[in-house]
Amino acid sequence: MSVNRDAVLKALKDVKTSEKKGFTQSIDLILNLTDLDLKRPENRFTENIELPHPPRKEARIVVFATGDLAVRAKNSGADQVLGREELDAFGGDRKAVKKLAESTDFFIAETTMMSTVGKVLGPVLGPRGKMPTPVPPNAPIENIIERHNKTVRVRVRDQLNVQCKVGSDDMVDEELADNVQAVISRLEAKLPKGLGNIREIGVKMTMSPFVKIAI
């Protein structure tokens, strides 16, 4: 049993009544968890969840690729396409790797480059849950990038709370509600006690108070 849609819509309506700013604000979903032992590895996870309605602002995507795949990735809107030389240049420069990890939402890598990616970037990307999606050289990279632009990452690791962007305040409430429910439903299925592991759910805009969703 997921969260009541009317409750989600009411919270979205309430959060949008906050004072308007001179820019488009993101809308985040926040879940506070309970009764979950994060010392147990099975209770720590990373989920990439495809939203029904993509946020207006696309994700920042970096692709490691060569040849035709690299060309198609660049033409498909990847923010950055890095070949073997660029990847090798990160070797030993942990500061540069951290900067790349913090500024990138998702990584995609050609399968032939995955071993090098793992060696050079793995120690930084792995703990952040940002290891690349491996794809073969003939992969439909256009579709893969499009799916990543609809995706949010949810991590449960060392804190009993989750926060992820589900849209922006210029999206209609029905679309935002679909996105909210998609994330909640996925987490409900992933958590050992479902909604029993969720103490509180709410939404907030970039510069607004937290508005609770009744559960």
Domains and CATH numbers, the chain: 5-51+153-213 (3.30.190.20), 61-149 (3.40.50.790)
Cβ 110 vs Cβ 135: under 8 Å? yes
Q: What is the DSSP letter of 136?
A: -
Q: What is the pLDDT of residues 73-96, one digit of tens each?
A: 999 999 999 999 999 999 889 999
**Phi and psi, residue 89, nearest 5°:** -65, -20
Burial class (CB in 10 A: 0-12, 13-18, 19+), 41: exposed
Longest pairwise C-alpha distance within the chain:
53
Which residue is associated with the tokens 């609809």? 150
Separation CA 59–CA 105 (nearest Å):
6
Q: Residue range 2-16: average pLDDT?
A: 92
Alpha-carbon torsion angle 45, 50, 52, 57, nearest 10? 110
Look over the chain and give the mean of its residue pLDDT values, rounded to a whole number.
93
* Confidence grade of residue 54 (pLDDT, cut at 50, 70, 90): confident
Answer yes or no: is pLDDT of 196 > 90.
yes
Share of the chain above pLDDT 70, in %: 99
CA distance 137 to 150: 22
Name the residue among 109, 103, 110, 101 with its Cα closest to residue 129. 101
User: What is the per-residue pLDDT across 90-125, written as a single tens digit (0 to 9) for each?
Assistant: 988 999 999 999 999 999 999 999 999 999 999 999
Across residues 42-47, what is the average pLDDT? 92
The number of C-alpha atoms within 13 Å of 16 and in the hemisphere containing its C-beta is 15
Closest C-alpha among 116, 115, 60 to residue 85 = 116
How far apart CA 125 and CA 94 sit, in angstroms, is 11
pTM beyond 0.85, yes or no: no
For the cut 80, the answer to whether the pLDDT of residue 18 exceeds it is no
The DSSP letter of residue 57 is S
The pLDDT of residue 212 is 95
Residue 56 has pLDDT above 90, yes or no: no
